[in-house]
Chain A
Amino acid sequence: MTAARLASRAGERALLPCLALLLAALSILPFGRLLTEGVAPKGVPSFDAIAAALGRSSTWVATIHSLEVAIGGTVVAVLLGSAVALTVTLTDARLRSAFIFCFVLPLMIPPQVTALAWLQVMAPSSPLLGLLGFEPRLGAPNPLYSRQGIILILGLQYAPLVFLALRAGLRGLPGDLVEAARAAGGRPWTVLRTIILPLMAPHLVAATALSFVSCVGNFGIPAFLGIPANYLVLPTLIYQRLAGLGPTALSEVSVLALVIGLIALSGIVLQGLATRGRDSRTTMLSAASRPFALGVWQRPVTWVMWLVVAVMLGLPVLGLLSTSLVPAYGVALSAASATLENYNFVLFGHAASRRAMVNSFLLAAAAAVIIIAISVVLAYFLVWRRSVLLSVLNLAAELPYAVPGVVLAIASILVFLKPLPFFGVSLYNTVWIILFAYVARFLVLGLRPVVGGYSQLDRGLEEAAQVAGAGFFTRLRTIILPVISPSAVAGGFLVFMTAFNELTVSALLWSSGAETLGVVVFGFEQGGESTYASALALVTVVVTLALMLATLAAGRAMPKGALPWRD
């Protein structure tokens, strides 16, 4: 055996321990640190921090608020998302691919932008309402600054999530089970009630749980809609405490983070139970391919579907656009008053906004590259080697994305507040802590498409190369990377787009000079400068849309099923 080959062997053997260390640092260390901070602040076991945090009425109020909006938002999301999924998958409503793209699009628009956009639509001084001829009473509070407002926008934000989960399930529904029920005399509604929905129950439960977890952890929507009404949920309470008191509040917010983590965990466990042991008892010949003809209803249903898209997508974008074009908030939009000055200001005039654009771009790009590098190697082991350690690593990769972003942010602060051992520098208050949190949080977004790519790959390809004498890294470079790269690129896109628009994590981790786009938009809106906020938000929406269209243009080069917006 040559020296080079021995080195390759040693490298391969060292790889798994390296991955384990990496994931320990990204996931297990921060969450472990958070747990110990809760039960043993300053290293001494004590329940003082828990007692102090749970003794405050604000904690309980925020917890109840969190549950209220999460349950309400989930109900809206499940009703809307499943109605659309059933219609699109089971009937012959037309223009399906375009509709799916448009319906899933809001999922890629960051929640805070959705909230901001709807605020513009519903504001009493809304230029859009003015254009449409509505003249709401001036001075009336925006109806979205309320519990109902948060619930509605959360529901709209996560309906696509439910749609995607249920649609995936419906695509696996064997067509002959539906046909058998129809031949037995079942009318479409009966078949839906007695056959399709019962078979979809695990998917529905999983989708509901996923939506619940997302609603509980959402920061952007309650931050934009709840803080002005003093309706605080746990993530916004944590934000306010930390913003107001700084690191001295860490012990208390750690407990709050644990509370919200526990609530989210209950949803995650429920989702796990629902998806465990998926029914594989049916022999699948072909999926149910749109078994119900709408007949005379085809046209009206198609119209209603596009009306939903117009309301969910068109209205908020118009809201942003109209606000971004007026010279000052409250001025009526007209040909004479329209101006591009807000764009000029956020793109060129405002220093923090310019910095944020560079920061967000570089952070998202760096996170995407690092995550893809980790994913290609990690997925190799996850798909082709099985062990207890790997199951643990898989869980460790999932955890930072599964729990709410504020929980990860607090955990990251706890890890990096003190200077790093050996280096003597602290990452806290630098851009690097944001990069760390992004890599940890979005790892699973990049990992999933790559794992999907490996799963479809014939192991024989790699084994043939191994038999031919190629070492691990040679195989990785010459065989695996070329085949897996479309999935990796797709994963990279997902990571980039999500990180580029991110607010939850960076709202707690940013510092002067290390702003992100989300933070700046939030800052504008909190400062009452909705025109700037709208202009900058619309720029991010355009960037997101352009990236999505780019992946569509890449067409066949992108692996099927890796990108949610492509049917």
Chain B
Amino acid sequence: MARLILDRVSKSFGSQEVLSGVGIDVADGELLAVLGPSGCGKTTLLRLVAGFETLNGGTIDIGERRVSGNGVHIPPEDRRVGIVFQSYALWPHLTVDGNVEYALRVAGMAAEERRRRVADVLAKIGLTGFGDRRPAELSGGQRQRVALARCLVMEPSLVLLDEPLANLDVHLRASVEAEFVDFHRRTGTTMIYITHDQAEAMALADRIAVLDQGVLMQIAPPSQLYAEPANEMVAGFVGRGMVVPAVVLGEERGGRCRVSVLGIEVTVRCAPGQRAGRQAKLCFRPRDLGLAAYGDGVPCRLARSIYQGGGFRLEIRPEVAPEIMLTLDVPEITAIDHGGMVSIGIRDGWVIPGS
């Protein structure tokens, strides 16, 4: 079990900078999800921590040990970092036992002890009796669990998971997700979980680090990430956020402030110390918006309504700013249509800091 510290980590491939100045401090026993669109650098981050790539700048410490940076590069085989690959990377020429015991065999552990440990870990993941099978004879979910067992048997100080659910059926994901949470809780292993699926990240992680184009956007617990996005990218990427321009009319008081948005004045949440200003951006979630009595609220033109089972999703454009598209969910649609016009009320919102 170990703490992981990335300090101003930078990595370039040729002239292309893939990570720039990323600083993350992962606490001992924490499960950190690294979330971002494809190509954001999250896989490179994982490969740097594992030691498959060398740094261009910054440092990486695992536990008390400097593993990368300042002229140091500990090779992957000496880092005691466990990895679950997206493809599982099970060795096809070895049995389940052979795969799981590999690390122990390489470390020179006696056969007796090895057998005991392998049996232990296979029991833990519910694959007792599968030891003689080849990876090809296993289902996707079973392979996933063998990959996890192979990583756990070496009792790593740190576990890296590279989109471990990406190759699983949708109905299998929830159960494996639960297994991960359960396992993490039992062992208290520090885990870095790479994903592009925010639902997965939200469900699993203690904290989420959002990466975009190689830059760390925000690192926060899931609920905070959702409620208080630090910038427009996070606001838009997480939870179907909508970003609209606003004018902050008064200073923050008790975590809220008065703003003028889309032609009406409302009180919304904001960061401590938020000042008044004209250039602010407001983040809405669909649940922050609702239909208002016709004539109240923000007059909008209905662009599209999509039936979603039990309700509708509306896509609307405010009359004062038709270039902005807002979405909201309503249970019924019949009563609201007035020649393609609706009125919406704003229940809540978040002033994006520094905007």
Contact residues in B for A177 (Cβ distance below 8 Å): 89, 91
Contacts known (A185-B80, A185-B107); A282 close to B93, Cβ less than 8 A:
no
Contact residues in B for A201 (Cβ distance below 8 Å): 93
Q: How far is the CA of A285 from the CA of B79 in the complex (A)?
A: 24
Q: How far is the CA of A174 from the CA of B90 in the complex (A)?
A: 10
Selected from B87, B92, B136, B154, the residue in CB contact (under 8 A) with A176 is B87
B330 proximal to A (CB < 8 A): no
Q: Is the CB of A281 within 8 A of B76?
A: no
Contacts known (A190-B106, A194-B102); A180 close to B77, Cβ less than 8 A:
no
Query: How many Å from the CB of A164 to the closest CB on chain B?
Result: 23
Chain A residue with the shortest CB-CB distance to B108: A185
B86 proximal to A (CB < 8 A): yes
Selected from A183, A198, A279, A291, the residue in CB contact (under 8 A) with B81 is A183
Q: How far is the CA of A385 from the CA of B320 in the complex (A)?
A: 63
Contact residues in A for B154 (Cβ distance below 8 Å): 184-185
Selected from A180, A183, A198, the residue in CB contact (under 8 A) with B93 is A198
Interface residues of A in 146-196 (CB under 8 A from B): 174, 176-177, 179-187, 190, 194-195
Q: Is the CB of A199 within 8 A of B93?
A: yes
A283 proximal to B (CB < 8 A): yes
B130 proximal to A (CB < 8 A): no
Q: How far is the CA of A285 from the CA of B81 in the complex (A)?
A: 21
- Which of A186, A187, A279 has the most C-beta atoms of chain B within 10 angstroms of its own C-beta? A186
B29 proximal to A (CB < 8 A): no
Q: Is the CB of B150 within 8 A of A184?
A: yes
Contacts known (A179-B50, A179-B76); A184 close to B89, Cβ less than 8 A:
no
B191 proximal to A (CB < 8 A): no
Query: How many Å from the CB of A323 to the closest CB on chain B?
Result: 48
Q: Is the CB of A185 within 8 A of B52?
A: no
Contact residues in A for B86 (Cβ distance below 8 Å): 176, 285
Q: How far is the CA of A242 from the CA of B64 in the complex (A)?
A: 79
B83 proximal to A (CB < 8 A): yes
Contacts known (A174-B89, A176-B89, A185-B106); A283 close to B167, Cβ less than 8 A:
yes
B26 proximal to A (CB < 8 A): no
Q: How far is the CA of A283 from the CA of B52 in the complex (A)?
A: 20
Selected from B79, B92, B134, the residue in CB contact (under 8 A) with A199 is B92
B226 proximal to A (CB < 8 A): no
Q: Is the CB of B87 within 8 A of A199?
A: no
Chain A residue with the shortest CB-CB distance to B73: A293
Chain B residue with the shortest CB-CB distance to A283: B87
Q: How far is the CA of A291 from the CA of B77 in the complex (A)?
A: 12
Contact residues in A for B134 (Cβ distance below 8 Å): 281
Q: Is the CB of B106 within 8 A of A186?
A: yes
Q: How far is the CA of A183 from the CA of B78 in the complex (A)?
A: 8
Q: Is the CB of B89 within 8 A of A187?
A: no
Interface membership of chain A positions 271-304, coded 1 if the CB is closer than 8 angstroms to chain B and 0 otherwise: 0000000010111110000010000000000000
Q: Is the CB of B92 within 8 A of A281?
A: yes
Chain A residue with the shortest CB-CB distance to B76: A182
Selected from B77, B90, B135, B136, the residue in CB contact (under 8 A) with A183 is B77
Interface residues of B in 80-113 (CB under 8 A from A): 80-83, 85-93, 102-103, 106-107
Contact residues in B for A182 (Cβ distance below 8 Å): 51-52, 75-77
Contacts known (A185-B154, A190-B106); A180 close to B83, Cβ less than 8 A:
yes
Interface residues of A in 228-246 (CB under 8 A from B): none
Considering only CB atoms and an 8 Å cut-off, how many residues of chain B contact the other chain?
32
Q: How far is the CA of A284 from the CA of B88 in the complex (A)?
A: 11
Q: Is the CB of A183 within 8 A of B92?
A: no
Q: Is the CB of B83 within 8 A of A282?
A: no
Query: How many Å from the CB of B242 to the closest CB on chain A?
Result: 35
Contact residues in B for A285 (Cβ distance below 8 Å): 86-87
Q: How far is the CA of A453 from the CA of B86 in the complex (A)?
A: 32
Query: How many Å from the CB of A94 to the closest CB on chain B?
Result: 16
Query: How many Å from the CB of B21 to the closest CB on chain A?
Result: 25
Contact residues in A for B92 (Cβ distance below 8 Å): 199, 279, 281-282
Chain B residue with the shortest CB-CB distance to A187: B77
Interface membership of chain B positions 124-151, coded 1 if the CB is closer than 8 angstroms to chain A and 0 otherwise: 0000000000111000000000000011
Contact residues in B for A198 (Cβ distance below 8 Å): 93
Q: How far is the CA of A180 from the CA of B82 in the complex (A)?
A: 9
Contact residues in A for B51 (Cβ distance below 8 Å): 182
Q: Is the CB of A179 within 8 A of B77?
A: no
Q: How far is the CA of A279 from the CA of B90 in the complex (A)?
A: 13
Q: How far is the CA of A40 from the CA of B139 in the complex (A)?
A: 57
Contacts known (A194-B102, A199-B92, A281-B136); A183 close to B82, Cβ less than 8 A:
yes
Chain A residue with the shortest CB-CB distance to B87: A283
Q: How far is the CA of A56 from the CA of B89 in the complex (A)?
A: 58
Q: How far is the CA of A285 from the CA of B88 in the complex (A)?
A: 11
Interface residues of B in 182-229 (CB under 8 A from A): none
Query: How many Å from the CB of B67 to the closest CB on chain A?
Result: 13
Q: Is the CB of B91 within 8 A of A181?
A: yes
Interface residues of A in 22-60 (CB under 8 A from B): none
Q: How far is the CA of A195 from the CA of B92 in the complex (A)?
A: 9
Q: Is the CB of A282 within 8 A of B77?
A: no
Q: Is the CB of B135 within 8 A of A281?
A: yes
Query: How many Å from the CB of A278 to the closest CB on chain B?
Result: 11
Query: How many Å from the CB of B87 to the closest CB on chain A?
Result: 4
Contact residues in A for B103 (Cβ distance below 8 Å): 184-186
- Which of B78, B80, B89, B102 has the most C-beta atoms of chain A within 10 angstroms of its own C-beta? B89
Contacts known (A180-B83, A180-B85, A283-B87); A186 close to B93, Cβ less than 8 A:
no
Contact residues in A for B107 (Cβ distance below 8 Å): 185
Q: Is the CB of B89 within 8 A of A186?
A: no
Contact residues in A for B106 (Cβ distance below 8 Å): 181, 184-187, 190, 194
Q: How far is the CA of A400 from the CA of B83 in the complex (A)?
A: 50
Q: How far is the CA of A431 from the CA of B9 in the complex (A)?
A: 71
Chain B residue with the shortest CB-CB distance to A286: B87
Query: How many Å from the CB of A135 to the closest CB on chain B?
Result: 50
Q: How far is the CA of A475 from the CA of B210 in the complex (A)?
A: 53
Contact residues in B for A183 (Cβ distance below 8 Å): 50, 76-77, 79, 81-83, 151
Top-3 shortest CB links A-B:
A184-B103, A176-B89, A281-B136
Given contacts A181-B106, A281-B134, 10 further A-B pairs with CB under 8 A are: A179-B76, A180-B89, A184-B77, A184-B102, A184-B106, A186-B103, A187-B77, A194-B106, A282-B87, A285-B87
Can you report 17 residue pairs joining A to B where beta carbons are below 8 Å apart? A177-B89, A179-B50, A179-B89, A180-B91, A181-B102, A182-B52, A182-B77, A183-B79, A183-B83, A183-B151, A184-B77, A186-B103, A186-B106, A187-B77, A281-B92, A283-B88, A285-B86
Binding site for A on B (CB under 8 A): 50-52, 75-83, 85-93, 102-103, 106-107, 134-136, 150-151, 154, 167
Binding site for B on A (CB under 8 A): 174, 176-177, 179-187, 190, 194-195, 198-199, 201, 279, 281-285, 291
